[in-house]
Amino acid sequence: MKIVIQRVSEASVVINQKQVASIEHGLLVLLGIVDEDTQEDIDWLCNKIVNLRVFPDENGVMNTSLLNADGNIIVVSQFTLHASTKKGNRPSYIKAAKPDVAIPLYENFISTIQNSLGKPVQTGEFGADMKVQLINDGPVTIIIDSKNRE
């Protein structure tokens, strides 16, 4: 699994001109899934996300986690995170998991992060054409791949 985390002062997701998710102060998490991903990847990433110290403490230093900052999360599935651009100019998405594998993992990811955070998590819709808006706070953007833990 590969994720892109963006610290936001606000973010939203619109599908078919209808807003389906909206937060202030928190994290927008873009999630890419491959066939080899497992619950172990989910558990490791969810723990990393909620405990990652990317919010300012009382001295303005990034030293506070999402849990301690009382932030919120939007999770958006994004198969294009696994694009290969090695050959030609058209990205290949062959590494991205097909829906029959990706949807259960996506749903488990959402459930696991909700349990880790202790409150509901907002989401986009798997496979939908989404308009994602955000104000990146900082800017802070972090990329994490669960296959590169060491």
The residues assigned a catalytic role are 78-80
> Could you give phi then psi for residue 24, rounded to 5 degrees?
-120, 150
Burial class, 59, CB count within 10 angstroms (exposed 0-12 / middle 13-18 / buried 19+)? exposed
Ordered DSSP codes for 44-95: HHHHHHHH---EE-TTS-EEE-HHHHT-EEEEEE-GGGG-B-SSSSS-B-TT
- Encoding tokens for residue 2? 């590969």
